[in-house]
């Protein structure tokens, strides 16, 4: 193992390159690491430790940083949520793991312990089918914007796409759908991993109606209608988030509804219909089954009700 004479701060760009080249992490993951490590850099500067080298980092430094996170308040005066604090710590652990991989003397990553609560399963929020139906029916499809928005909502629920994956869709991917009843579409998902998503007959019919109204030359499937000449008119992720929020309010479904909530609803619906976790993992494009297992608890109540109703033990004599 070698001691680095370069301060920790100066190692961060190399760490981000390592995430891209050797770990193959997505651009979004790299951006998140950079943002979360920015908080650690700020703390180092705040405590006059900006020249601290990897081998000089101590367990007490980690403890002081954790205290800083737990006592930090946002500009709105609110403390950081526990889950957010964990994201900062996870990014720092990743940096320490990088030092180990590069034979740079530093604290081992396992010296940063996450709180036990951080290891508990996430609470998944989702819409039931009645709420999904209300959401899908909310846009006024006689207008070109309403029709576009209906297609966005139908696509989310039919495919389980992530918002970035939906934003990246192009018209050319639907060039030969005129006589098709449904569609299998190959996409490049998170981490540049290819997978197939499926448009139901219902969703594809709305895509066809929408494409019939498109006379522009934009490559993007989903566009805004205020484009200026020479300016990309592809809808952004932020615009799509606002669209979903708008129709959630109009439909009277929970205010927490987002594109990712529709993705949760898609997965939950498949699970309640009896689809196994491994298949749902493939539909969602999860690298690990652990990510998919977050959905298992949402059906526990339903399974309990099914067991009570159908298990033959209730018919046996006591």
Q: Which residues are catalytic?
A: 162, 190, 260, 263, 286, 295
List the one residue out of 256, 164, 159, 236 whose CA is nearest residue 204.
Answer: 159
How far the first Cα of the chain sits from its last, in Å, is: 70
Check: CB of residue 169 under 8 Å from CB of residue 208.
Answer: no
What is the DSSP secondary-structure string of 274-287?
A: T--HHHHHHHHT-S
Alpha carbon distance 183, 16 (integer Å): 38
Is 143 within 8 Å of 317 (Cβ atoms)? no
Task: Give the residue carrying structure tokens 């006379």.
Answer: 215
The bridge status of strand 194-199 relative to strand 183-188 is antiparallel
- Which residues are within 8 A (CB) of 196 and not within 5 positions of it... i.e. 6 or more apart? 184, 185, 186, 187
Count Cβ atoms within 10 A of the Cβ of residue 240 and give its class: 0-12 exposed, 13-18 middle, 19 or more buried.
Answer: buried
């Amino acid at each position: 193992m070698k001691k680095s004479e370069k301060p920790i701060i100066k190692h961060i760009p190399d760490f981000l390159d390592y995430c891209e080249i050797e770990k193959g992490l997505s651009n979004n993951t790299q951006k998140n690491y950079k943002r979360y490590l920015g908080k650690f850099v700020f703390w180092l500067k705040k405590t006059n430790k900006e020249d601290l080298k990897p081998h000089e980092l101590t367990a007490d430094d980690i403890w002081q940083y954790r205290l800083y996170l737990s006592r930090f308040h946002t500009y709105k005066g609110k403390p950081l949520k526990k889950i957010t604090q964990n994201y900062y710590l996870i990014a720092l652990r990743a940096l320490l793991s990088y030092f180990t991989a590069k034979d740079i003397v530093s604290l081992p990553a396992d010296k940063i312990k996450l709180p036990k609560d951080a290891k508990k399963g996430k609470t998944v929020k989702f819409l039931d089918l009645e709420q999904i139906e209300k959401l899908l029916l909310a846009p006024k499809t006689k207008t070109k914007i309403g029709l576009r928005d209906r297609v966005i909502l139908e696509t989310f629920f039919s495919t389980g796409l992530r918002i970035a994956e939906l934003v990246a869709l192009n018209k050319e991917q639907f060039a030969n759908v005129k006589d098709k009843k449904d569609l299998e579409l190959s996409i490049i998902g998170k981490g540049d991993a290819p997978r197939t998503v499926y448009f139901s007959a219902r969703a594809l019919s709305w895509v066809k109606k929408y494409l019939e109204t498109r006379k522009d030359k934009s490559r993007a499937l989903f566009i805004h209608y205020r484009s200026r000449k020479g300016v990309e008119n592809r809808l952004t992720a932020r615009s799509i988030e606002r669209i979903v929020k708008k129709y959630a309010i109009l439909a009277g479904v929970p205010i927490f509804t987002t594109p990712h909530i529709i993705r949760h609803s898609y997965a939950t619906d498949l699970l309640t219909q009896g689809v196994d976790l491994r298949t749902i993992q493939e539909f969602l494009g999860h690298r690990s089954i652990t990510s998919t297992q977050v959905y298992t608890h949402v059906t526990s109540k339903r399974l309990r009700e099914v067991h009570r109703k159908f298990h033959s033990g209730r018919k046996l004599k006591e």
